[in-house]
C-alpha cells in the first residue's frame, strides 16, 4: 500500500470517554447519541473519491469506532504511526464535540 497523501480521521466526540464518567448535557436530550454518530461523515467518501480520481492516495480512519471496538486500542499511538502527507479531522457532530 502506497503512502497516503491524505488521511481523514474521525475522532470520537470525547477523546477520553473510556477514562472518565460522562454526564449528558442538555443537547443530548434533543440529539441523542446513537451508533450512527460513530460513523464518519459521508463527505469523507466524497473527498476521498474526488482526490483519488486526481491521482492522490487517500485513507479514512474511523478512530471513534476503533476505540469502541477495542479497549486496548491507543488512538495517540495509532495516529503517530501513520505516515501521511496531510491529515484531515472532522467535527462532524458539533453538538457532541468536546469543548
Tell whether 3 is covered by a domain: yes
Tell whether 91 is covered by a domain: yes
* CB of 71 closer than 8 Å to CB of 18: yes
Contacts of 8 (CB under 8 A, 6+ apart): 40, 44, 47, 48, 58, 59, 60, 61, 87, 88, 89, 90
Query: What average pLDDT values come out for the chain (99 residues) when binned by 10 residues?
Result: 93 72 57 62 94 98 89 95 96 60
Tell whether 63 is covered by a domain: yes
Give 20-30 pLDDT, tens digit per residue: 665 555 555 55
Tell whether 20 is covered by a domain: no
Tell me the pTM.
0.76
Tell whether 56 is covered by a domain: yes
List the domain range (segments joined by +) for residue 56: 1-8+41-99
- Structurally, the chain folds into a number of domains equal to 1
pLDDT of 68 reads 84
Amino acid at each position: 500500500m502506497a503512502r497516503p497523501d491524505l488521511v481523514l480521521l474521525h475522532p470520537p466526540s470525547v477523546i477520553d470517554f473510556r477514562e472518565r464518567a460522562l454526564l449528558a448535557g442538555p443537547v443530548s436530550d434533543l440529539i441523542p447519541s446513537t451508533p450512527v454518530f460513530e460513523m464518519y461523515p459521508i463527505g469523507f467518501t466524497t473527498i476521498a473519491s474526488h482526490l483519488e480520481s486526481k491521482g492522490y492516495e487517500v485513507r479514512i480512519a474511523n478512530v471513534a469506532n476503533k476505540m469502541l471496538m477495542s479497549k486496548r486500542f491507543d488512538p495517540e499511538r495509532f495516529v503517530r504511526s501513520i505516515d501521511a502527507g496531510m491529515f484531515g479531522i472532522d467535527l462532524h457532530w458539533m453538538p457532541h464535540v468536546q469543548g
